[in-house]
Amino acid sequence: MLLGIFLLWVLLRSPLLPTVADSVLFFAENLVRILQELLNWLMGVPAGLKLNVPLNFALGKFFLYHIYLWKGYIAILLMPNLAPLLLCIALVGIGGVSFQLSMLSDLMGLLTFHMYCFYVYAARLYFLMFYAVRSLFRLFRGKKWNVLRERVDSCSYDMDQLFAGSILFAVLLFLLPTVLMYYAVFTSLRVAVIVIQSTLSALIGFINSSPVYPVILWLRQAPATKGNIKYTILSSSQSNCIWLSMELETASLENILQHSFPACQERAARCTYFRPLLTSLLQGELVGSAGLFGKRDN
Amino acid sequence: MAWKKILYERQSYADNYVDHTFLDELKKNVNTHTYRFWPTVIESGVITQQLSSIVLFVAAFAFMNADKLSLKAVFLLSGTAAVLGYAAYRCICVSTATLPAISSFNVIEESQTKRSVTDDLKTAILFLALAYGLSPILHTLTESISTDTIYAMTAAMLFGNLVLYDYGPNAAMVSGTVSFNAAMFASVCIASRLATEWHTFATVTLAVEMFALMPILRRKLKARYGWHVQVGMTLLLNTAAFLSLCELYPPCAVIFLIIFIFITFGCPLWLIRIQPLKDNIHGPWDEASCDTEVPTHL
């Protein structure tokens, strides 16, 4: 919280806010320009690979039109509202720097929304093609997926199913590399954005669970940090009962830290998520920011 | 105590003991079929017919590529052939149905699903519409792939068609589905190399006629009319293939002739020569097998 207020003061006092707004706008426009150049590169001969020309052209034009719409969106919706938005982010620092970081993460999500859209289009198209090619390859071999037994069984197809199936298989197989290229490019962009957002999220989690408050309490020997009970035997008088004095002792620092760390350990244990992620990427299933580092805890 | 071949009484011998009468039950070459020369030669026509239909298809492509065969001629030929062939097929079906139904072959035909003329017409329209709609895509499908790769793939697929074709035996390798699909894949590969979309459409339709419809007609004719028609078809197809190869590339025609003579005369001679060397042993130790197969028209 102190950090947040500090950042807020820094942002409000210095003439930093307009420059930050300008740099954010510059970042957004740069992003669009880079994406346009990327698409033009894909529509040509990307990395020396020769893709299917009509499909390449169609996909490239489709995405370029989307970028054209996005430019309009930035000009109309974002530009006038950018300075107040940044002011909001700075003001929210009252709640602590974690608030500002999360708003920064959301702002980043807003600015890269077009990349998210592209990723979803490309992923859906690739998923559909991959699924179709897999199923038609089974038809090519004369087999079928048995839903009841969940295995591949032989199947005697009719002549018209075979006609349509083998021609569609050839067409989709030859068109797959083009779609795969687009999918790979947009997925890597999206994964980069997800990595940045997840890093921010991890940072926020770390800040949230960092034991600043307990340590400060411990330093002040506040009543909340009392851990042990210490009994001292007072000089016993001749009476039958023993008089004890009870004192509450401050717990040791390692005790306090141990109590506040389980959340961090849990997060570290959940980072082994890569194999299912790789499989879903290869098959074209959508991956979200929740899938990269385990569920976001709030 | 003499050993009895039973297991329900305890004997002083081991359970798997056999005595000297064991090999009396050995029989040699019980189910061996003795081949005679001329019937085998006639039956080998099935293989050469399929080979020559493949050769005719490739020759048609080569002629279209070299502009020696006009598009109209291809359409006319394939159209008339399809109509005539279908009419012949229907006549044979009708005449088979009116024969005295003693032969088990008729029983098979009755039990299969009766396809009416409307069903066949629907399949034909479906196929023509699909091929016509997909021919622009098919035309530019393999533009970015080098010609050598295309030729290699086509050759491999057609070879697969030849090897896996359903010539009649109940072997595990036979797979009518895969051979037809391989032929269609090959036709899509090679059709995309031609000049216009109409050429592509013509090639794909021709491929369907030669690899799907003609085998059905050939089997029907052979079943109905016996060996005269079989010999006639073999000679007709092979002469057509030989002549087109002569026109195209004479050394290939010579190779084709050599292969034809080898398959038609050389292989039966070889088979009959090594038939006496056959040494199958049968006995009560064999696995039980059920004889549920319906005897074929041979």
Burial class (CB in 10 A: 0-12, 13-18, 19+), B203: buried
Mean pLDDT across the stretch A167-186? 91
Pick from B144, B145, B184: CB nearest A167 = B184
Contact between A159 and B212 using a beta-carbon 8 Å cutoff: yes
Rounded mean pLDDT for each run of 10 residues along chain B, 298 residues in total: 80 81 79 84 90 93 89 91 91 78 49 70 90 90 86 93 83 77 92 89 91 88 86 92 91 93 92 86 80 66
Q: Which residues pair with A245 in a beta bridge?
A: A232
Return d(Cα A69, Cα A20) in angstroms, integer: 25
The answer to whether the beta carbons of residues A130 and A120 sit under 8 Å apart is no
Least confident range from A27-36, A170-179, A221-230, B149-158: namely A221-230
Q: Let me know: does A110 contact A27? Beta carbons within 8 Å.
A: no
Q: Which residues of B touch A (CB under 8 A)?
A: 123, 126-127, 130-131, 134, 137-138, 140-145, 175, 177-178, 180-181, 184-185, 188-189, 204, 208, 212
List A230's β-bridge partners, or say none.
A247
Runs of H (alpha helix) within A112-261: 113-140, 159-209, 212-219, 253-260
Nearest CA to A71 among A108, A100, A35, A99? A35
Q: For residue A264, name the pLDDT band (cuts at 50, 70, 90).
A: low
What pLDDT was estimated at residue B169?
72
DSSP SS3 for A118? helix
Q: Which of B126, B154, B184, B219 to mutate to test the interface with A (most CBs of A within 10 A)?
A: B184
In chain B, which residues have their Cβ closer than 8 Å to the Cβ of A159? 123, 212
Residue type, B293: E
Torsion sign across C-alpha atoms A118, A124, A127, A128: negative
pLDDT value at residue B49: 93
**Res. A253: pLDDT tops 70:** yes
**Local confidence band at A248 (pLDDT 50, 70, 90 cut-offs):** confident
Q: What is the pLDDT of residue B181?
A: 92
Residue A160 pLDDT class (50, 70, 90 cuts): confident
Residues of B in contact with A165 (CB under 8 A): 181
DSSP codes, chain B: ----S-SSS--SS-TT---TTGGGG-EESSSPPPP-HHHHHHHTHHHHHHHHHHHHHHHHHHHHHTTSS-HHHHHHHHHHHHHHHHHHHHHHHHHHHTS-TTSHHHHHHHHSPPP-HHHHHHHHHHHHHHHHHHHHHHHTTTTTS-HHHHHHHHHHHHHHHHHH---S---SS--HHHHHHHHHHHHHHHHTTSSSHHHHHHHHHHHHIIIIIHHHHHHHHHHHHTHHHHHHHHHHHHHHHHHHHHHH-HHHHHHHHHHHHIIIIIHHHHHHHHGGG---EE-TTSPP----PPPP--
* pLDDT on residue A2: 65
What's the predicted TM-score (pTM) here? Answer: 0.78
pLDDT band at residue A294 under the 50/70/90 scheme: very low
Q: Which of B127, B138, B145 sits opposite A163 (nearest CB)?
A: B127
Q: What's A239's DSSP letter? A: S
Tens digit of pLDDT for each residue in A118-159?
A: 899 999 999 999 999 999 999 998 888 888 888 888 888 888
Q: How far apart are CA B198 and CA B206, in angstroms?
A: 12
Residue A13 CB-density burial (10 A; 0-12 exposed, 13-18 middle, 19+ buried): exposed
Report the pLDDT value the prediction gives residue B147, as an integer from 0 to 100. 87
pLDDT digits (tens, 9 = 90+) for A35-47: 888 888 888 777 7
Q: What is the largest CA-CA distance in chain A?
A: 110
Residue A15 has a pLDDT of 56
Please state the ipTM of this predicted complex. Answer: 0.81
Q: Which residue of B has its CA nearest to A49?
A: B144
Q: Do A170 and B141 touch (CB under 8 A)?
A: yes
- How does residue A9 score in pLDDT terms, banded at 50, 70 and 90? low
What is the pLDDT at residue A22?
78
| B137: closest chain A residue by CA | A171
Residue A264, Cβ density class (10 Å: 0-12 exposed, 13-18 middle, ≥19 buried): middle
b (16+ CB within 10 A) / e for B225-254: eeeeebeebbeebbeebbebbeebeeebbe
Question: Model confidence at A296, in pLDDT bands (50, 70, 90)?
Answer: very low
What per-residue confidence (pLDDT) applies to A298?
A: 35
Q: How many CB pairs under 8 A join A and B?
A: 77
Query: What is the model's pLDDT at position A125?
Result: 92
Whether A53 contacts chain B with CB within 8 A:
yes
pLDDT at A289 > cutoff 70: no
Q: Are B132 and B154 in contact (CB under 8 A)?
A: no
pLDDT value at position A13? 57
Q: What region does B18 belong to: left with phi over 0, alpha with psi -120 to 50, or beta?
A: beta
Minimal Cα–Cα distance from A159 to chain B, Å? Answer: 8
User: Measured in Å, how far apart are chain B's first and last C-alpha atoms?
Assistant: 52
